[in-house]
Amino acid sequence: MTRPMCIVLALATLLFPGMAAAELQPHRAEYALRLGAAPNAPRIGTALQELTQDCSGWRLKRDITTEIALTAAWKISVASKLDGEESKGGNMFRYRAVQIQNGTERESKGRVERTGKEVRAEIAPSSSPGPLMLPAATMMPVAAMRHLIERLGAGAASFPALAFDAEVIGDVFLIDVTALDSIRAARPADKPVSLPAGKSWPVSMSFTRGRQQDQRPLFTVTALAFDSGVLDRFTVDTGLVSVTADLVSLKMHSPPVCPRS
């Protein structure tokens, strides 16, 4: 996999949904992707995420497209699409992911389920026979962001989390989260986006393979996380190059009215 492909899929990982401590807020968010964090950084693509809810759980649809010019004559076109469902209690996540690089398509499908103290993933195609056994503390995407927002809301300065990733490694990430004092400012040319009322926290997150925790992080991320679950102004840094994403459009959805259980 090329470095640009890793960068784009890293952005996809960070566009998963969030949950406040009391209530999930479904939303549709559109982002502009740029190469680098400078105010005049060139635009290289777009990202769209839509999170909806019914009484059984969450539905996540994501679509990222980008084109990166490595030289005047060599460009890499990359697309990443995800369609996933997570149960209300966060014990099951089912998904279909498609990555397309310069016209070559790769598809994967999977189901991750917590049963008692076990978390197992069945992924196709897979390099190993049988289900993949994940650490017991592994969280599904929505549950992982709920954990992030709840810990930040409780005033935690730093903490780890184990979260399943469907798009970059098809395995578990160890995410080390640190609260920051500030992150990069909004670009002067950006049009203001109306954000939901609530708190927000600038954070830094490093992503390491969960089974190889002694390795260097694959990438780091800084972002502004809102208690509604919306993310803005985040930057993915691989050490060699960085890609940024900024909100250009946001629409909040109404949650369903569900019977009391």
- Per-residue pLDDT reduced to its tens digit, 160-194: 999 999 988 889 999 999 999 999 988 887 888 88
**pLDDT confidence band for 23 (50 / 70 / 90):** low
Please enumerate in sequence order all residues whose Cβ is within 8 A of that of 110, keeping only pairs 6 or more positions apart, or say none: 94, 95, 97, 121, 122, 123, 124, 166, 170
Task: Assign 102 to helix, strand or coil.
Answer: coil
pLDDT for 261 equals 59
Q: What percent of the chain has pLDDT over 70?
A: 89
Quick: pLDDT tens for 31-67. Answer: 999 999 888 899 999 999 898 999 999 999 999 999 8
pLDDT for 85 equals 96
Average pLDDT, the chain: 86
Mean pLDDT of the 92-113 span:
94
Listed by start position, the domains of the chain span 3-252
More confident residue, 10 or 170: 170
**pLDDT confidence band for 223 (50 / 70 / 90):** very high
Mean pLDDT of the 227-242 span:
88
Q: Give the pTM.
A: 0.86
**Is the predicted pLDDT of residue 251 greater than 70, yes or no?**
yes
Would you say 110 and 170 are in contact if contact means Cβ atoms under 8 Å apart? yes
pLDDT for 11 equals 56
**pLDDT confidence band for 239 (50 / 70 / 90):** confident
**Is the predicted pLDDT of residue 209 greater than 60, yes or no?**
yes
Mean pLDDT of the 134-147 span:
90
pLDDT for 5 equals 46
What number of other Cβ atoms are within 10 A of residue 89's Cβ? Answer: 11
SS3 annotation, 44-72? EEEEEEEEEEECCEEEEEEEEEEEEECCC
**pLDDT confidence band for 1 (50 / 70 / 90):** very low
User: How many Å apart are CA 232 and CA 39, to the nearest integer?
Assistant: 15
Quick: pLDDT tens for 85-101. Answer: 999 889 999 999 999 98
